Amino acid sequence: MSFNTYDTCDEERFCPHCGQKLESWIGPPETMWGLILVCNNNSCSYFLNSGETVESYGGHPNLSFRYAEDPENNFECFNLLSYCPDELKNKEPEGGCNCG
């Protein structure tokens, strides 16, 4: 595995829940993640079905999980919290988060 000058992973990875290609994302410096790969598909079943799980653990109703992988840790997967604003929460999956 290697990274190019644009901070992207040279290996194509796909979400096991929806099949969409994972997108490169640089985590905030305080997380020490560096480059991670994220499924940004608002129609992904993993994303759509996670809002209630987050809420059941006391999380904010506008939070959901996105599927993510860490290339520097052998592509280990993890839950990436994602915010979904109220105005998008109840839209159809193609048009918004539909996080709830």
**Phi then psi for 36, rounded to 5 degrees?**
-130, 165
d(CA 65, CA 53): 9
Mean pLDDT score, 58-87? 86
Per-residue pLDDT, averaged over 67-87, amounts to 87
User: How far apart, in whole angstroms, are the C-alpha atoms of residue 43 and residue 57?
Assistant: 23
pTM: 0.75
Do 65 and 80 meet the contact criterion of CB atoms below 8 Å apart? yes
Question: What's the pLDDT score for residue 87?
Answer: 59
The residue ranking higher by pLDDT, 84 or 56, is 56
pLDDT of residue 16: 97
Strands 63-70 and 23-26: unpaired
Give per-residue pLDDT as tens, 21-71.
999 998 888 888 889 999 999 888 898 888 888 888 888 888 889 999 999
